[in-house]
Structure 1
Amino acid sequence: MSGELSAETIAYKILTAPQMANLLENGSFTGAPVDLADGYIHLSTAGQVRTTLEKHFAGQTGLYIAAVDLALLGDTVKWEVSRGGALFPHLYADLPLEAVIAHGSVGFDNAGILMLPAAV
């Protein structure tokens, strides 16, 4: 159906509480230190985000996850080979709040499955 989002058009960004507050207050996110060092904002697909969380945010609390509509970002998103040879979405621009379609604190259900924000 026209207008519906598919898994291919949604990516996820894990943010610390101050980063999430910054995004909401300023209307855009310029990147975490690793993003700034690499020259792009790291994003993950639904199938990649749990491993990203475990690998890069282990032991951290107060984390948030933002669902990003990649279609709104146009050609600033590049799919590039990264961890394990998988393609990851990389954003070569600031992340505008308008592209964040849902967000929430990082949480797990009773089975230990990462709960992703529901797309609107």
Structure 2
Amino acid sequence: MTFIYHMADKEDWAAARHAGFYAGTANDKADGFIHFSTGETVVGSAAKHRAGQENLILLTVDSDALGDALKWEPARGGILFPHLYGLLDPALVLREEPLPLGPDGLHIFPAGIKE
């Protein structure tokens, strides 16, 4: 089991749970897939792409549950990132945790998430 992570806006995620599917962020939709990160890359991704953004939650998913729709593709210096080509079923999300901002404008991650 490999945990992967996605940062979602709280309101968008609430609407997705109600609708029964999550299509991702505006950036995800533009790129054609939902961006996920590993435990080793999520903190850096948040700092690079989401610094200062409020109202985010961290979604945890078992990568195996996403089947063939999940592709591991190289980005940033050849590091493999998980990309979901399709909608995310909210029932597959194992944990939803708030990502509050610290005084430095960076997100405070739950215990157990490592960089």
TM-score bucket (shorter structure)? 0.7 to 0.9
- Cα deviation, 1:79-111, whole Å, max 9, x if unaligned, reads 0001222000000010111210111111489xx
Q: What is the TM-score of this pair, normalised by structure 1?
A: 0.81
CA contact (8 A) 2:33 2:83 kept: yes
From 33, 55, 58, give the equivalent of 1:65.
58
- Which residue is equivalent to 1:45? 38
Q: Counterparts of 1:83 and 1:41 in 2: how far apart (Å)?
A: 17
Q: Residues 8-19 of structure 1: matches in 2 within 5 Å?
A: 9-19=2-12
Q: Counterparts of 1:117 and 1:67 in 2: how far apart (Å)?
A: 12
Deviating 4+ runs (over 2 angstroms): none
- Which residue is equivalent to 1:90? 83
Q: Counterparts of 2:7 and 2:111 in 1: how far apart (Å)?
A: 11
Q: Counterparts of 2:58 and 2:108 in 1: how far apart (Å)?
A: 14
Cα displacement (A) at 1:22: 1.8
- Cα deviation, 1:15-46, whole Å, max 9, x if unaligned, reads 11222212221221011111111111000001
Residues 105 and 76 (structure 1), Cα distance of their counterparts in 2 relative to 1, 3 Å cut: same
CA contact (8 A) 1:43 1:89 kept: yes
Identity of aligned residues (%): 37
Give the SS at the match of 1:52. Answer: helix
> Cα RMSD (Å) of the superposition?
2.2
Give the unaligned 5+ runs of structure 1: 1-5
Paired residues in the alignment total: 109
- Which residue is equivalent to 1:3? none
Confirm whether residue 114 of structure 1 aligns to residue 101 of structure 2.
no
